């Protein structure tokens, strides 16, 4: 594909170039995938008010997210196994985000480690934390993020149990890949991906293997992970983590107004309205539908961000109009990464920035910080 006009073009390229098990891992939801689909489709009914004969010059997309200056109100979301979409994927994505002036968030379940990303970037990035039973391991993770000068900790609260994703089970998902005959045959059709993986030493969970007790290699990781989901996780743990971290704290996985109030009470700097990309509770509300109620409940007390279903700059501005201070893209940048590596991530960000900028102009605004519900057609968005 020589002409790339939108995120969907990058998705199609990634689907051709990334082995099926890893493409499906990124591009799927739990059970029937109804929430995964709703995250995107629920943006469609929201309509803009087009304005004319207004000054559209000198437009600015610059703002802040959790106190950090950003070139546009978009961050790269934490995504597991990013380094299996493309060799050294977390490093490449972090570099692209740094050059673009937006935050990159490294997942606990990344292939490249905290130290790998820090050694290959020049500015602070954000780190996403899962809470596991092994609290000593969590303490070490937090300390490693501090040592790497991560500028915010994104604490994910919606993974106490793991949602079932049918495609992952069918594909026998693992890292390194399980070498079944179907997987071998599929990978044989992705020569560029295979060459990239042969050329890197980063093919396992870099934040865990060699750092967690009794996890010295990939063979011992599976049993350790299955035992680490913490069903007892509570807001007391959030308080402990906040004290241990001592820096900017963003709480991810909020879909209910009462939980949003508890997040605000915790003293966190921001929360993310998120259903884990439709990968956890199938049948849950879409993130964009949940956003207005949460903004109404706590928007004056805590900064509200949002992720889930963002595929365009128009989606970004709709979320901002409904009260989000910033959004996160996951699949959109993964498609770019799988399609074209670092250049693909930059291209995804360029597409979203261009669409956001032009849409803002058509709506008669010059400053992204002034976006509100006045740019939307009344009655076209959830209340």
> Which amino acids are annotated catalytic?
276
How far apart (Å, rounded) are the C-alpha atoms in residues 51 and 47? 13
Long-range contacts, stretch 211-215, CB < 8 angstroms, 24+ apart: 211/137, 211/140, 211/141, 211/144, 212/134, 212/137, 213/134, 213/136, 213/137
How far apart (Å, rounded) are the C-alpha atoms in residues 281 and 130? 17
Burial state string for 132-165 with b = 16 or more CB within 10 A and e = fewer than 16: bebeebbeebbebbbebebbbbbbbbbbeeebeb
- C-alpha closest to that of 275 among 259, 297, 264, 298: 259
How far apart (Å, rounded) are the C-alpha atoms in residues 363 and 228? 48
| Tokens encoding 138 | 């969590």
Residues 135, 141, 144, 150, CA torsion sign: negative
Alpha-carbon torsion angle 178, 181, 182, 183, nearest 10: 30
- C-alpha closest to that of 25 among 205, 138, 172: 172
| Tokens encoding 162 | 């793991």
Stated as kind and residue range, the H or E segment containing 239 is: helix 235-245
How far apart (Å, rounded) are the C-alpha atoms in residues 90 and 84? 9
Cβ atoms of 182 and 24 closer than 8 Å:
no
Cβ atoms of 88 and 117 closer than 8 Å:
no
The set of residues, in sequence order, having a beta carbon less than 8 Å from that of 379 and lying 6+ positions away, is none
How far apart (Å, rounded) are the C-alpha atoms in residues 15 and 36? 18
Give the other-Cβ count within 10 Å of 122's Cβ: 8
């Amino acid at each position: 594909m020589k002409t790339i006009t939108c995120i969907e073009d990058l998705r199609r390229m990634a689907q051709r170039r990334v082995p099926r098990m890893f493409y499906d891992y990124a591009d799927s939801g739990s059970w029937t995938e109804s929430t995964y689909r709703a995250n995107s489709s629920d943006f469609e009914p929201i309509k803009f008010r087009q304005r004319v004969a207004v000054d559209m010059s000198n437009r600015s997309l610059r703002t802040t997210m959790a106190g950090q200056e950003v070139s546009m109100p978009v961050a790269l979301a934490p995504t597991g196994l990013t380094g299996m979409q493309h060799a050294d994927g977390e490093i490449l994505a972090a570099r692209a985000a740094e050059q673009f002036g937006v935050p990159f968030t490294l997942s606990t379940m990344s292939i490249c480690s905290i130290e790998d990303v820090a050694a290959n970037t020049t500015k602070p990035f954000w780190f996403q934390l899962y809470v596991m039973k092994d609290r000593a391991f969590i303490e070490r993770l937090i300390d490693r993020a501090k040592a790497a000068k991560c500028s915010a900790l994104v604490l994910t609260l919606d993974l106490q149990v793991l949602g079932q994703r049918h495609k992952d089970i069918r594909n026998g998902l693992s890292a390194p890949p399980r070498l079944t005959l179907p997987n071998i045959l599929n990978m044989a059709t992705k020569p560029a991906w295979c060459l990239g993986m042969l050329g890197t030493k980063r093919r396992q969970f870099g934040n865990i293997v060699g750092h967690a007790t009794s996890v010295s290699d990939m063979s011992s990781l599976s049993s350790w992970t299955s035992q680490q989901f913490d069903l007892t996780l509570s807001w007391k743990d959030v308080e402990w983590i906040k004290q241990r971290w001592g820096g900017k704290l963003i709480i991810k996985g909020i879909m209910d107004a009462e939980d949003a109030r508890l997040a605000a009470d915790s003293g966190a700097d921001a929360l993310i309205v998120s259903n884990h990309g439709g990968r956890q509770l199938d049948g849950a509300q879409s993130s964009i539908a949940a956003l207005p109620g949460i903004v109404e409940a706590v928007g004056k007390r805590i900064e509200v961000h949002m992720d889930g279903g963002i595929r365009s700059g128009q989606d970004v501005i709709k979320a901002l109009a409904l009260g989000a201070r910033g959004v996160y893209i996951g699949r959109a940048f993964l498609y770019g990464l799988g399609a074209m590596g670092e250049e693909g991530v930059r291209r995804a960000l360029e597409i979203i920035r261009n669409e956001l900028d032009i849409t803002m102009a058509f709506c008669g605004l010059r400053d992204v910080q002034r976006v509100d519900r006045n740019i939307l057609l009344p009655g076209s968005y959830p209340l």
